[in-house]
Chain A
Amino acid sequence: MMTSQTHDFAADAGARVRVEALAPVARFSLRVRQQGRAALGRALGLDLPERVGEVARAGERAVLCLGPDEWLIHAPEAETDAIAAAGAEVYAEAPHALVELSDREVSFAITGPAAAELLSIGCPRDLGRLAPGRAVRTVFDSAQVVLWRDGAEAFRVDVWRSFAPHVGALLDAGRAEIAAGL
């Protein structure tokens, strides 16, 4: 699917940063006006956060506020149909757009003490100001990405499928550079 390698955890033990291509998840874009937010939240079992960059989680579902009327939902693949159906159920009450994007994007996990350093090869944001638990849409080199900070040393990058090889190649180049220690 992509050129980036999935790294064996054991073989990489001690490495300052690891890059892994992650398995597919269910992804949805949700667009709804303020007045429909609560209804959709109830339907999806998620409290849709109000501020850009905030993430809410319920079980294995996570919802990220990307814009004033835009949310990104990640969930286990098995829940794909249930999410679509839940949206359809409240459509009349709360008109919205719930579009499945499970195949539009793929994700990388970047973890380790040098994770933020690796991302700084392509991301112009001050990652020091992205608190663990938050996520933002931004750019990495010339690709638009959604960057999730899961912990101090743990990030995920969602990127459109056709941009993934480029992003993966850059992450590999950066990883080699960090490994060289110079």
Chain B
Amino acid sequence: MSRFRLPGKGRVNHAETVRFSFDGKAYEGLRGDTVASALLAHGIHLMGRSFKYHRPRGPVTADSAEPNALIGTSRGPGRFEPNTRATVQELRQGLECESQNRLGSLAFDLGAVNDALHPLFPAGFYYKTFMWPRSFWDRLYEPIIRRAAGLGRAPSEVDPDIYASRYLHTDLLVVGAGPSGLMAALVAARAGARVTLVDENPEMGGAILSDPGVGIDGQPAWDWLAQTLEELASLGVRLMTRTTAIGYYHQNMIGLCEKITDHLDTIPDGAPRERMWRVRATRVVLAQGALEKPLVFHGNDRPGVMLAGAAQSYLHRWGVRVGDRAVIVTSHDSAYFTAFDLAEAGTKVVAIIDTREAPPEALRAEARARGIELLAGHTVTGTKGRLRVASVTVNPVEAGRIGDPRMLHCDCLLMSGGWTPSLHLFSHTKASLAWDEQSRTFLPGRMTEECHIAGAGRGLWGYLDALSDGAEAGAAAARALGQEAEAPTPAVAHDRAGTGESHKELPTDRTSSRVRAFIDFQNDVTAKDIRLAVREGMRSIEHVKRYTTNGMATDQGKMSSINGLMIAADAVGKAPPEVGLTTFRPPYTPTTFGAFAGYHKGATFEVTRATPIDGWAEENGAVYEPVSLWRRAWYFPQGGEDMDRAVARECRATREGVGIFDASTLGKIEVAGPDAVEFMNRMYTNPWTKLAPGRCRYGVLLGEDGYIRDDGVIGRLGPDLFHVTTTTGGAARVLNMMEDYLQTEWPDLDVWLTSTTEQWATVALNGPKARKVLEGLVEGADMSAEAMPHMSVAECRVAGFKARLFRLSFTGELGFEINVPARHGRALWEALMQAGQPHGICAYGTETMHVLRAEKGFIIIGQDTDGTVAPEDAGLGWAIGKKKPDFVGKRSLARPDLVAEGRKQLVGLLTEDGHVKLEEGAQIVFDPDQPKPMKMVGHVTSSYHSATLGRSIAMALIEGGRDRMGETVHVPMPDGVVRAKVTSTAFYDPDGDRLKL
């Protein structure tokens, strides 16, 4: 039995030992322990080192607000986590923990040299020190800062855990299962509401867990708790423990992070480590209680100095006395109960130091009765002890004068500076806080959401008030939900109500420069730092925070914000509400990336769309590239080919014989209805009226601003029916744009749009032998050049499947695109491969497609255009239906900007040295000898090596490009300037003879 553990006490299971290690040393704890309670049971307070000064630190809390006791935890490869709060991490068999932020051992930390040098590290140290000389930055300052930055060590392996997420809809969400939250849930559930009750702790009860002596409704508090939880369960209330409400968003959406496996000895198969819940609640009750404030005095950070409420929790929840000799220093009644409970448990309470002159008589009497010395109207001016507090210096304060010191020996110093309502979630809603001068704290002000605050969050103290207020909140919520509800008044025995006073620093007789009274323990921010920041001109609390780093530690100011504000307000000479609190932002406590990512890792990181032919590509060694959400076959290397060789082979095979390409990702929209042609005339630049059924046309779609948005070949299948194709990436956008015009501008048109992108699998067949491959498979259509000329479409059967057969070409070769119902896509592909075998058919990927189209000067939307390119700029003026009265973007083609001289125009570029391939995106200048910065006149949009032409080719947008044919432009690159000649974009077969097969 550990020396500080009380046999049979607490809510831990004394019958079950749990083994764990801390810094390599083996320890035993009990089931139900946290790392902190288990170490404290062994008398260990020293658990970490502070960030800046490497000062020894022990736990100051027993909960999630802990700033000091941060540890690394591990359960095997990939499962190391730094900055875990020892006060929250539950023991599990074999848990390995290590302390952080030390050079050497925890007891002998070389980094503690910073502490001796502390006068060198004032507030704003970083801003002041690393400014000059400039040349020191790269070689000295940055490496030093990088080495010192961050707490703990980052895990280096892939996290093997699963993370989950859920949506949840509930009538009432109650956050916090202390006395108020329990009552709120109970009253609302009894009234018939669907209730969800969450608490970040492993068990529900909140303060009740630390106050077993209280009686509720005639029962000991813990019996009442057990009975209440049973009733809640029987009423169907969803009870969620280890679940933290991390953020409160619009319209009562609350984010919950549920910890599922961190406390388990082994991880069950398929069990997620954490689950993020997105809860939508009709009403919310926030019953998050209050956070105890540390007192600010010299040496308040020594291990063994902790919050009085924490000591009380260790005693009652885990059966652990935090020391043998305790001194209490308080400005609030609540710490008296800690003193009394500890005394009863066998700890010698040396004295209660009350900063108030006249504590309540009842408490004085009880202290007297227990033989505890009470020093009212006293202050603490210092502590001593290297790795653990050993003594406290206390002085009387009379009329502001500090009297003679007295030293009290102790091994723990338990402090209470009063309580701050925990209103973090409430603040996430942009609700306002109201300063209450009497309690000198912020209380809930104006609300923005449908929520109720109950209990200590409203500054109420004591069980009767907390239970009653919770009941009221639950009843109010139920009534808002349309239920009838009444709030019962509970009966409370041995209540622990109380009041207190609020302080800035405690009065001291030390010279101010020698006082090291900590506010933000983790970041080593002292009261002096705050005052210095104000002296140096910081007036806003937000500036003070950033200058001093107060509140920027992992506890996000839970321990430090309010004390920092009190001191800053005093230094500025204003009332605290005028200085204001810093903004609370989600998450409430540190939350893993895994919980936010949920299922979005590995194979389900994001949607990966694959075509019906993707399986063939995979089996045939395709290398893929992502195109919007699709994965597309990029090229098909054979026998160890690299990309360049594979693409060159695919290009040659297509130009010389026949190539086959999976074009299924192309967007497809069925435009159908009596007004289909009118709609097409209004949407696309081209004229459609005279396009006969059975024919198709290249269409250009503009935005209303006149810039090219999309393009594609559009077939007319009947008088009232068009088969529109869009770019792969533009499919959804184009349909949305069309629907927008149709629904809101032209609702009178009788035409309907349906996405058929995934109804059809599309296979492109290109090359002089394309018809030979295809014709044997086609039924119901005449494949002759006369019956099916270039740019025609037929409905027929191909390889036995119902098909829409287009004759078109994106390569400049004789080309067909065959659409069949998607489920037959692969069968069609394989039939074509088989039919093509005698003709040397070659599968090609998107890279070859890009090269072949570039050789012809065909543009790719989004590559050769960028949202500022008008049709004329891209050389597509021919596609404008100039006689049409209107179409989307037509008026903009006459905008002053679009008719101005010198617009960038799409041209071809041939480098002087055909072996040199330009970089896509490279900037172009006319004069390479001009001084820098040079005037950039355009950029390279597409650039490839063309196997067909035996040299590199490129396309570029260049100012006034089409008037510069034959001129030389210059492309400055890091290793020299590349010279290139401006040409037409039609590099290959400019007259289109190859289409006339």
Interface residues of A (CB under 8 A from B): 1, 24, 29, 31, 33, 69, 95-97, 99-105, 117, 120-121, 123-126, 128, 141-143, 160-163, 165-166, 169-170, 173-174, 176-177, 179-182
Contacts and interface: CB of A to CB of B under 8 A. Distances in A.
A77 B787 CA distance: 34
Contacts of B612: 161
Interface in B711-769: 720, 750-752, 754-760
B268 interface: yes
26 contacts: A31-B752, A33-B750, A69-B752, A95-B750, A97-B752, A97-B754, A99-B670, A99-B672, A99-B759, A100-B759, A102-B821, A103-B760, A104-B755, A104-B758, A104-B822, A123-B167, A141-B599, A142-B606, A143-B607, A166-B604, A166-B607, A169-B604, A176-B269, A177-B164, A180-B269, A182-B261
Contacts of B607: 141-143, 163, 166
Nearest to B605: A166
Contact of A99 (B166, B167, B754): B754
Contacts of B164: 121, 173-174, 177
A70 to B, nearest CB: 8
A7 to B, nearest CB: 15
A120 B168 contact: yes
Nearest to B670: A99
A162 B610 contact: yes
Nearest to A98: B672
B754 A29 contact: yes
Interface in B369-398: none
Nearest to B264: A182
B941 to A, nearest CB: 29
A83 B427 CA distance: 58
Contacts of B162: 173, 177
Nearest to B820: A103
Pairs of residues from A and B, 10 with the lowest C-beta to C-beta distance, nearest first = A31-B752, A162-B609, A97-B752, A176-B270, A180-B270, A97-B672, A126-B169, A103-B822, A103-B821, A104-B759
Contacts of B755: 104
Nearest to A3: B603
Contacts of A96: 673, 752
A181 B612 CA distance: 36
Given A176-B270, A177-B270, A162 B758 contact: yes
B27 interface: no
B608 interface: yes
Contacts of A169: 603-604
A103 B280 CA distance: 36
Contacts of A166: 604, 607-608
Contact of A120 (B167, B270, B610, B670): B167
Contacts of A182: 260-261, 268, 271-272
Nearest to A27: B759
B823 A24 contact: yes
B674 interface: yes
Nearest to B821: A103
A128 B169 CA distance: 8
B611 interface: yes
Contact of B268 (A100, A142, A162, A180): A180
- In the complex, which of the residues B271, B720, B758, B821 has the most CB atoms of chain A within 10 Å of its own CB atom? B758
Contacts of B720: 95
Nearest to A165: B610
Contacts of A104: 755-759, 822
Q: Chain A contact residues: over half helix, strand or loop, or mixed?
A: mixed
Nearest to A163: B607
B750 A179 contact: no
A163 B756 contact: no
- In the complex, which of the residues A125, A161, A181 has the most CB atoms of chain B within 10 Å of its own CB atom? A161
A123 B751 CA distance: 32
- In the complex, which of the residues A99, A103, A143 has the most CB atoms of chain B within 10 Å of its own CB atom? A103
Contacts of B168: 120
Contacts of B19: none
Contacts of B167: 120-121, 123-125
B165 interface: yes
A24 B674 CA distance: 31
A179 B270 contact: yes
A163 B758 CA distance: 10
Contacts of B756: 99, 101, 104
B278 interface: yes
- In the complex, which of the residues A141, A166, A174 has the most CB atoms of chain B within 10 Å of its own CB atom? A166
B739 to A, nearest CB: 11
Contacts of B603: 169
Interface string B751-795: 110111111100000000000000000000000000000000000
Given A29-B754, A102-B759, A182-B272, 11 more contacts: A95-B673, A99-B672, A100-B759, A101-B756, A102-B821, A103-B823, A105-B758, A128-B169, A141-B607, A162-B758, A165-B608
B249 interface: no
A124 B272 CA distance: 20
A16 B752 CA distance: 42
A100 B804 CA distance: 13
B177 to A, nearest CB: 20
A85 to B, nearest CB: 14
Contact of A161 (B165, B606, B822): B822
Interface string B230-273: 00000000000000000000000000000011000000111110
B630 interface: yes
Contacts of A125: 167
A103 B612 CA distance: 10
B673 A97 contact: yes
A148 B162 CA distance: 29
Contacts of B261: 182
Contacts of B270: 176-177, 179-180
A166 B600 CA distance: 10
A163 B609 contact: yes
B244 to A, nearest CB: 17
Contact of A173 (B604, B609, B610, B823): B604
A142 B821 CA distance: 25
- In the complex, which of the residues A105, A141, A160, A180 has the most CB atoms of chain B within 10 Å of its own CB atom? A180
Nearest to B755: A104
Nearest to A31: B752
Nearest to B277: A120
Nearest to B600: A141
Contacts of B268: 180-182
Interface string B202-225: 000000000000000000000000
Interface string B139-169: 0000000000000000000000010111111
A126 B166 CA distance: 12
A126 to B, nearest CB: 4
Interface in B580-617: 599, 603-604, 606-612
Contacts of A176: 269-270
A162 B611 contact: yes
